[in-house]
Amino acid sequence: MSRGLFLSVEGIDGAGKSTHVDFLRDYLISKGLQVVVTREPGGTVVGEKIRDLLLTSDHLHSNTELLLYFASRQEIIKQVILPNLENGVCVLADRFVDASIAYQGAGRQLGIDKVKTVYSLLEPTLKTDATFLFDAPLDVALERLRSNRDLDRIEQEPREFFNRVQQAYYQIANEEPYRVKIIRTDQTIPETRSVLIKHVDELLASKGIV
């Protein structure tokens, strides 16, 4: 049996990840794949406790935040992501390591090298086969975020924080254009879906899946 596809969705808050992740899962299932969706931080018993800490604690040192994200990630890699991939199941991650590079490395200004160094301590250090980077102009994303929900600790950060995060995502996409596909969401949801489908079809064809 061949290893399952490892996919992630990324993007700044309000970019449209949650709006498209279920659609993406259902589309992959319609193509005959078995799919498991994971969410970060969380997804394991310990991970959900860490999620709670991360989203509700005041005055967390940025290094603590970084290490907690990776602690949660280590658990989900070992318990959920790897076993599923080994069983040929497609894993669709709602955020993965790129999020730490963007949010902690750039947003919190810890530096991208530091984030990569921490990641190198995990086992194994997986890389996604493809990452869909949902993206809208910063002010569009922030307006959606602020009008839609009660904001958690990170979502309350100032515009400049999200600007750094978004720029870091662009840098990742520039460095790895084959892995990271930017999907614009400043258009209608059906329009965004059709772009997403085009990328997914190309990916599945390149892997010989359909």
Ligand X SMILES: Nc1ncnc2c1ncn2[C@@H]1O[C@H](COP(=O)(O)OP(=O)(O)O)[C@@H](O)[C@H]1O
Interface residue list for ligand X (CB under 6 A): 11, 13-19, 134, 144, 148, 185, 187-189, 192
Query: Residue 17 or 108: which CB sits closer to ligand X?
Result: 17
Can you read off the two tokens belonging to residue 45?
Answer: 């018993």
**Cβ-based neighbours of 139, under 8 Å, separated by 6 or more:** none
Which phi and psi angles does 135 have, rounded to 5°?
-150, 135
**Is 128 exposed, middle or buried (CB count within 10 Å of its CB: 0-12, 13-18, 19+)?**
buried
Query: Residue 11 or 105: which CB sits closer to Mg ion?
Result: 11
Residue 19 interacts, among ligand X, Mg ion, none and using kind-specific CB cut-offs from 5 to 8 Å, with ligand X
Is-contact 25 35, C-beta < 8 A?
Answer: yes
Shortest distance in whole angstroms from residue 86 CB to Mg ion: 28
Query: Residue 18 or 74: which CB sits closer to Mg ion?
Result: 18
Q: Binding of Mg ion at residue 19 (CB under 5 A)?
A: no
Shortest distance in whole angstroms from residue 3 CB to ligand X: 27
Residue 42 interacts, among ligand X, Mg ion, none and using kind-specific CB cut-offs from 5 to 8 Å, with none
DSSP conformation letters of 31-57: TT--EEEEESS-SSHHHHHHHHHHHH-
Query: Residue 12 or 28: which CB sits closer to ligand X?
Result: 12
C-alpha 35 chain-centroid distance: 16
Shortest distance in whole angstroms from residue 32 CB to ligand X: 26
Please name the residue that has the structure tokens 């709602």. 94
Query: Residue 3 or 144: which CB sits closer to ligand X?
Result: 144
Residue 87 interacts, among Mg ion, ligand X, none and using kind-specific CB cut-offs from 5 to 8 Å, with none
Residue 147 interacts, among Mg ion, ligand X, none and using kind-specific CB cut-offs from 5 to 8 Å, with none
Residue 205 interacts, among Mg ion, ligand X, none and using kind-specific CB cut-offs from 5 to 8 Å, with none
**Is 116 exposed, middle or buried (CB count within 10 Å of its CB: 0-12, 13-18, 19+)?**
middle
